[in-house]
Amino acid sequence: EATLDLAERRRIRSAIRDLQRQELERDEEALASKRFRPERGSHRQEDKENWPRSRHLEEEQQQAALATLSQRLEAITSVEELTKLLRAAGEYEERKLIRAAIRKLRAEEIE
């Protein structure tokens, strides 16, 4: 806007477009690297329909183990015991159930 020379304005607009294009390319590269980042661990998430039968069995066993853990947690009435279990738990779903049991006990204590 400060210059009246048309050739200079074209060069400035061209430089602005180049900078915007470079910025878009960097953003796209960042998104692509996040989107296609290899997952942690040795196994990849796959479509559950294509899982082999053994994976389905594993998942069913894990669900059964979580149900058993949930029943055990309902019998525990001490936050200290639950905290010990929480520290020993390795799986996310186990820790999630234990934290929920701790919150439930604390809510009951408050009441």
Check pLDDT > 60 for residue 92: yes
Average pLDDT of the chain to the nearest whole number: 80
Torsion angle of the four alpha carbons 69, 72, 73, 76, in this order, in degrees rounded to the nearest 10: -160
Tokens for 77, please give them. Answer: 């009435």
pTM above 0.75, yes or no: no
Is the model's pLDDT at 109 over the cut of 90?
no
Tell me, what's the pLDDT at 42? 46
**To 10 degrees, what angle do helices 92-110 and 79-88 make?**
170
Question: What confidence tens digit (pLDDT) does each residue in 15-54 have?
Answer: 999 999 999 988 888 887 776 555 554 455 555 556 567 7
